[in-house]
Amino acid sequence: MAQRGVLRPGFVQICVLDMEKAITHYRDHMGLELVGIEADGRAYFKGYDEFDRHSIVLREADAPGMDVLAFKVYADEELDSFEKRLNDMGVTTTAVAVGEQPSVGRRVRFETPTGHVFDLYAEMALSENGPMVTNPDLWREEPKAMRIQRFDHCALVGINIVGAANIFTEALDFTIVERAIIPDSGEPVAIFLTCSNKAHDIAFLGNPDNDGKLHHVSFNLESWTDIGHAADLISRYNISLDIGPTRHGITQGQTIYFFDPSGNRNETFAGGYSHYPDNPVREWTVDQMGKAIFYYEKEVHGRFVEVFT
């Protein structure tokens, strides 16, 4: 697949209540590499199979949630083109200067009607501990804890999810892969989008009472066996479990959900189908949402649709 434009989710900045506890969770229990802690207190992490310097940023704050989700663009000159397309849609953009995060180039920032903040950027320094490229072994250092390969996607909660999705499809060339709809009206209650051939790179989940919320941050694992291993660690370290191990009907990925010490929902995710631009959109109706979300259990517990940060 010849890919240019927006490449993938690049990094997410998460708000945590206690940095020391958060570092223990993301480094020691999940197995992310702690890249560094900067003078402003923010902590930077990466998965073992990521080339770029960081993909997860933690900021200590008074409330949990997400500050910004950033997508990496193929080339710096494309930032200007995307900014113009956003502006032509009536979406206001602002500039984030080089150096706001270490080793990251200029960023174009915008906000969706759901109240979420997004950045586009093209430049980030490579990690000094990234995957090997000459006669490469499977990994440079043995993966630890949950063996996180990479940051995979975010699911975000808001009211006007159609308006948010339109920005991604019309200005940024994302494709709607899958959605859940109300049969009589056709109104989407969940929209899954990709900029690659993954099952999703971002998801918007509709909620009439919450805007600008984070549902979960997802991390890719290699296999279903690794999902089980993550479950073992969740039990061993008394991490707050949400649900799983199980499987999704939507995306068909294997999954387990749990919470970091601040209450932010994490997911470890493996598998999922491949999507190509000529594929039709897959649809679920709301009466089948239990099976769509949790394919084995065929029901959704209240916490999953009520707890956001």
Catalytic residue list contains 229: no
Candidate list 26, 44, 121, 257, residue with the active-site label: 257
Candidate list 25, 54, 248, 275, residue with the active-site label: 248
Candidate list 153, 229, 237, 295, residue with the active-site label: 153
Catalytic residue list contains 267: yes
Candidate list 33, 50, 83, 267, residue with the active-site label: 267
Catalytic residue list contains 216: yes
Kindly report the number of other CB atoms within 10 A of residue 229's CB atom. 17
Q: For residue 297, count CB atoms less than 10 angstroms from its CB and return exposed for 0-12, middle for 13-18, buried for 19 or more.
A: middle
Candidate list 25, 29, 216, 275, residue with the active-site label: 216
Candidate list 29, 54, 200, 275, residue with the active-site label: 200
Catalytic residue list contains 275: no
Residues involved in catalysis = 153, 200, 216, 248, 257, 267
